[in-house]
Chains A and B, each alone.
Chain A
Amino acid sequence: DVKVTQSSRYLVKRTGEKVFLECVQDMDHENMFWYRQDPGLGLRLIYFSYDVKMKEKGDIPEGYSVSREKKERFSLILESASTNQTSMYLCASSPGSPINTGELFFGEGSRLTVL
């Protein structure tokens, strides 16, 4: 079975802390994504990666960075957490071309609260 695992389901952090959200997939997918989900705003793309060490900004990259040192792992980093980054973070993956049908495989999400 396809599996995307996010390391933490729930996190509580303080303003100014550095936060790491980890995501691992076991499907040998080329593409990995970090989305942020907020009520009434849907899913918004933060960053994505189409290959190891490659990254592209999404729609809302400010305040975030990412790391992809290995194909199966994609990390989201909040250098200095702020209260407006309190949200649900969803990691997803998909295969690369030519077999990419656009279907994303999602993790269960990481709910981050910044106090």
Chain B
Amino acid sequence: AQTVTQSQPEMSVQEAETVTLSCTYDTSENNYYLFWYKQPPSRQMILVIRQEAYKQQNATENRFSVNFQKAAKSFSLKISDSQLGDTAMYFCAFMTVAGYALNFGKGTSLLVTP
């Protein structure tokens, strides 16, 4: 079974600063997908960024980028120029290529302060 570990239950960052959220995973698969999802307070979960394991290039989406280290089984999320609207729970998730469902980590609660 694949496991996803987020070692930082809570983090805080000041507006306009950069923050990095950590995620490690365990799998014997060679090809898979990794995701970061965002859940704002009292709002629905949305996809932030997605990475395919066979792609060496790190995925980026505007202010969000990942550092994907396949050998180390590490998948961290960097948020640049943090904004108040980035305050949310962030979940790292894993899915095998042949799979249907995602395995989620326990989440990191990020607070962006003025």
Contact B45 A106 (CB under 8 A): yes
A48-B100, A102-B35 in contact; A109/B44 too (CB < 8 A)?
Answer: yes
Give the segment of A19-27, A39-47, A62-70, A71-79 that binds chain B. Answer: A39-47
Q: B15 CB to closest chain A CB, in angstroms?
A: 26
Contact A102 B43 (CB under 8 A): no
- With a cutoff of 8 Å between Cβ atoms, the chain A residues found around residue B47 in the complex are 103-104
CA distance A31 to B99 in the complex (A): 11
CA distance A4 to B100 in the complex (A): 17
A42 partner, pick from B95, B100, B101, B104, beta carbons under 8 A:
B104
- With a cutoff of 8 Å between Cβ atoms, the chain B residues found around residue A43 in the complex are 91, 104
Q: Mark B32-50, 1 if CB is under 8 A from A, else 0.
A: 0101010000011111001
Contact A102 B95 (CB under 8 A): yes
Q: Mark B81-102, 1 if CB is under 8 A from A, else 0.
A: 0000000000100010001111
- With a cutoff of 8 Å between Cβ atoms, the chain A residues found around residue B101 in the complex are 33, 45, 48, 58
CA distance A40 to B109 in the complex (A): 10
A40-B9, A40-B106, A42-B105 in contact; A102/B44 too (CB < 8 A)?
Answer: no
Contact A42 B46 (CB under 8 A): no
CA distance A108 to B46 in the complex (A): 10
CA distance A92 to B50 in the complex (A): 17
CA distance A94 to B43 in the complex (A): 19
Contact A106 B46 (CB under 8 A): yes
- A interface, CB within 8 angstroms of B: 4, 31, 33, 35, 40-45, 48, 50, 56, 58, 90, 92, 94, 100-104, 106-109
- B interface, CB within 8 angstroms of A: 6, 9, 33, 35, 37, 43-47, 50, 91, 95, 99-107
